[in-house]
């Protein structure tokens, strides 16, 4: 049984689809339950099992209720993917307090509230896989002080819960995507007024692989950490960036 936050679109949707294709029952979690339905229906149409759940992961009670609903529906939580995230990009001197707080709330507090809620089920069964979505932005990215801080914070959070929960058979790892072609990155291109194909070509030129990432690339890494066979891998950060930081 897997829970994927921020799963109505983009990386979360692809992760949910691929987990279901691998045999997991999946809870597709997002702010608006109606927006989860296309992903849920796609999984069911392919022969999988899925439910949609609405929750604001930054809210403790909503996270607890969401996990309780998953346990009631499927009996347990085996895999938690903390993917929910937002961007509020700006240079530091232009960044408003709310821009900082909102990003930290969704990424960091959201991972905290969901993990705290889900770990109870995992501890009881002495098994669990927690995968947090970090980013290459954790290494620093102009105009993203809030996002970079949140994503590096997730790496520290991951390593700490790996230490705390490891004795109970629970692993915790990070997947850190580079530039991935998603609705979010396309919206950024539109906001800055750069034609999409030009922006994709620009980023591809920076990569040793000479292409930008696709949601499937990230989902594949998540599935690796989520596997039962990955039980001796914990506290790790896997950068999936096409080798961007080699050059």
Residues involved in catalysis: 147
Q: 192: which 2 tokens?
A: 């800055």
Q: Which residues pair with 172 in a beta bridge?
A: 130
């Amino acid at each position: 049984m897997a829970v994927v936050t921020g799963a109505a679109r983009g990386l979360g949707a692809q992760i949910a689809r691929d987990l279901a294709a691998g045999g997991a029952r999946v809870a597709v979690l997002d702010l608006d339950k109606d927006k989860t339905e296309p992903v849920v229906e796609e999984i069911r149409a392919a022969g999988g099992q899925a439910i949609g759940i609405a929750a604001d992961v930054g809210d403790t009670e909503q996270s607890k209720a969401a996990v309780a609903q998953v346990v009631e529906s499927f009996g347990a939580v085996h895999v938690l993917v903390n993917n929910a995230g937002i961007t509020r990009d700006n240079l530091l001197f232009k960044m408003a307090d709310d821009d900082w707080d909102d990003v930290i709330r969704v990424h960091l507090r959201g991972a905290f509230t969901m993990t705290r809620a889900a770990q109870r089920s995992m501890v009881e069964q002495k098994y669990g896989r927690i995968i947090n979505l970090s980013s290459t932005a954790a290494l620093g990215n102009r105009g993203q002080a809030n996002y970079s801080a949140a994503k590096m914070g997730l790496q520290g959070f991951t390593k700490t819960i790996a230490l705390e929960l490891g004795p109970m058979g629970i692993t915790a790892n990070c997947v850190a995507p580079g530039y991935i072609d998603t609705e979010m990155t396309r919206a950024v291109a539109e906001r800055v007024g750069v034609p999409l194909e030009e922006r994709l070509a620009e980023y591809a030129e920076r990569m040793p692989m000479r292409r930008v990432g696709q949601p499937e690339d990230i989902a594949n890494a998540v599935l690796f950490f989520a596997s039962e066979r990955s039980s001796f891998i914990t506290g790790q950060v896997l950068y999936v960036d096409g080798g961007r930081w080699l050059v």
